[in-house]
Amino acid sequence: MDAIYIGLAAFAGGILAAILGWLETQEDFVARKFAGSVARALVAGSVFAVGYAYSGSITIMDIFAAFVAGAGIDVIGNRAAGAIKSGFLKG
């Protein structure tokens, strides 16, 4: 059951990062962009849940770390997607 909390924390972190990023841009909501963030948050949550399933015990600090990491994964994913779209990584 603890692994589910870790997965939800990572997912929530990714979703919060996506919402805050959207609010910062002051643009209209684009579901396609938000769907990418949801997909990254689901992957982050799944990876953390599987990883912590083999852990002995989970503390509140583990849950906080998963939340922050989930947010970081979404932010890095958005930056990478922006770099690819702008042609920076195309060589």
pTM of the predicted structure, to 2 decimals: 0.76
Would the pLDDT of 82 be above 80? no
Q: What does the alpha-carbon distance between residue 38 and residue 44 come to, in Å, rounded to a whole number?
A: 10
- pLDDT band with cut points at 50, 70 and 90 for residue 89: low
Q: CB-side exposure of 70: number of CA atoms within 13 Å?
A: 32
Q: State residue 90's pLDDT score.
A: 58
Could you report the per-residue pLDDT of 2-33, keeping only the tens digit for each? 788 888 898 898 888 888 888 888 888 888 87
Report, as an integer, the average pLDDT of 60-69. 86
Give dist(CA 13, CA 2) in Å, integer: 17
Q: Report pLDDT for 86.
A: 75
Look at residue 91 in the predicted model and tell me its pLDDT. 56
